[in-house]
Amino acid sequence: MATPTPVADFARLAWHAARALCPGSPERRRAAERWLRGWEENRRLQPADWVLMSWGKSGRTWLRVMLSRFYQLRFGLPESELLDFDNLHRRNPAAPRVFFTHNNYLRDYTGNWQSKAHFAGKPVVLLVRDPRDVAVSQYFQWRFRMQPRKKLLNGYPPHGTAIELFDFVTDTEVGLPRVIDYFNDWAASRDELSALLLVRYEDMRADPARELGRILDFTGTPGAPEQIAAAVEFAAYDNMKKLETEGFFRNAGARVKAGDADNPQSFKVRRAKVGGYRDYFDDAQCALLDAMLARLDPLFGYGPDSGDNSGLGIGSGSSAAGSSGT
């Protein structure tokens, strides 16, 4: 199979192709671009050794950096190259091809809007985070980092829209309700997959070495304790901020780069705080968000007080949900 086009390059190609195919209809252009992006994602999925699934703002970049450093150490690869599907595999075929996805555009191509059948036969690591923290972080992503056409492409408020944080977080189309729907959909579909590992951001914060070790064991590249420890240290919060400021990863594009170096809220590595959503809202607003969370499937272990319980619940031990078939 030919090497897939880098994500950023293909995104530009898809945008130009959609404009050429559908010159007079914004909605048709949007549908065409989403389908083309899904087609490219499906090309990556087929040869992938495993899948890292998440909703945006769930700690995926942090985990990507840990994985990158581990694979660099394990397989003797350059330190400055960030894991991006098969780039490390092309340098050393022993390194896995890791498909990073939100299952967003892929559904436009496969037509599997609810089913997860297109992931059958692939080990899937499902990375989750407290949906209240996710929704707040997504607001800052939308406001300070997301490109105008990505906002249109993914159904977010148009660029320049005046919307307050709480209104964004409670919006059914872009905020907490949408994140909860995504999580619940995965909970309902988990029996479709033969190998699903559930990993919580909060558990990674509490014990990153343990959680990274679980992921590596599950995906078939168990690591030595010293390699895992080095990967965790490399991806520590302060060093991640430093790497982002310096533009350390030569192939990262905008993935690990501040939107505005003078605006702390525009950094990819922003606060990384468990339960940090409470810092932005008063007690009544927090109570409303907690009430909204009540319809989240209990599989994930999040409740009104879970923001104070980092490291507890599912995903924190060897018998955690998702070892196989859950």
Q: How far apart are CA 3 and CA 44, in angstroms?
A: 9
Given a contact cutoff of 8 angstroms between Cβ atoms, the answer to whether 51 and 122 are in contact is yes
The answer on pLDDT for 228 being more than 80 is yes
Q: How far apart are CA 144 and CA 151, in angstroms?
A: 12
Q: Is the dihedral of CA 62, 67, 73, 79 positive or negative?
A: negative
Residue 161 CB partners (closer than 8 Å, separation 6+): none
Q: Which two tokens stand for residue 145?
A: 């980092």
Least confident of 5-14, 123-132, 218-227: 5-14
Confidence of residue 312 (pLDDT cuts 50, 70, 90): very low
* Mean of the per-residue pLDDT values of the chain: 85
pLDDT tens-place string over residues 24-44: 678 888 999 999 999 999 999
The answer on pLDDT for 77 being more than 60 is yes
Confidence of residue 190 (pLDDT cuts 50, 70, 90): very high
Q: Which two tokens stand for residue 322?
A: 């998702």
Count other Cβ atoms within 10 Å, centred on residue 311.
16
Q: How far apart are CA 6 and CA 109, in angstroms?
A: 19
Nearest residue to 99 via CA among 117, 86, 109, 89: 86
* Amino acid (one-letter) located at 314: I
pLDDT tens-place string over residues 244-259: 777 787 665 545 555 4
Given a contact cutoff of 8 angstroms between Cβ atoms, the answer to whether 119 and 126 are in contact is no
Which fold is adopted by the domain 7-308? Rossmann fold (3.40.50)
| Mean pLDDT on 182-197 | 95
Q: How far apart are CA 180 and CA 177, in angstroms?
A: 5
Q: How far is CA 92 from CA 67, 78, 83, 88, 145, in A?
A: 15, 11, 12, 6, 33
Given a contact cutoff of 8 angstroms between Cβ atoms, the answer to whether 183 and 296 are in contact is yes
Confidence of residue 316 (pLDDT cuts 50, 70, 90): very low
pLDDT tens-place string over residues 290-305: 999 999 999 999 988 7
Hunting for tokens 């660029």 — which residue is that?
A: 159
The beta strand positions in the chain, using DSSP E, are 50-54, 98-101, 124-128, 196-200
* Amino acid (one-letter) located at 171: D
Given a contact cutoff of 8 angstroms between Cβ atoms, the answer to whether 54 and 127 are in contact is yes
What pLDDT shows up at residue 309? Answer: 40
Given a contact cutoff of 8 angstroms between Cβ atoms, the answer to whether 194 and 121 are in contact is yes
Element (H, E) at 286: helix 283-292
Percent share of the chain, pLDDT over 70? 79
Given a contact cutoff of 8 angstroms between Cβ atoms, the answer to whether 324 and 195 are in contact is yes
pTM over 0.85: no
Considering only residues 7 and 227, tell me which one the structure prediction assigns the higher pLDDT. 227
| Mean pLDDT on 68-89 | 96
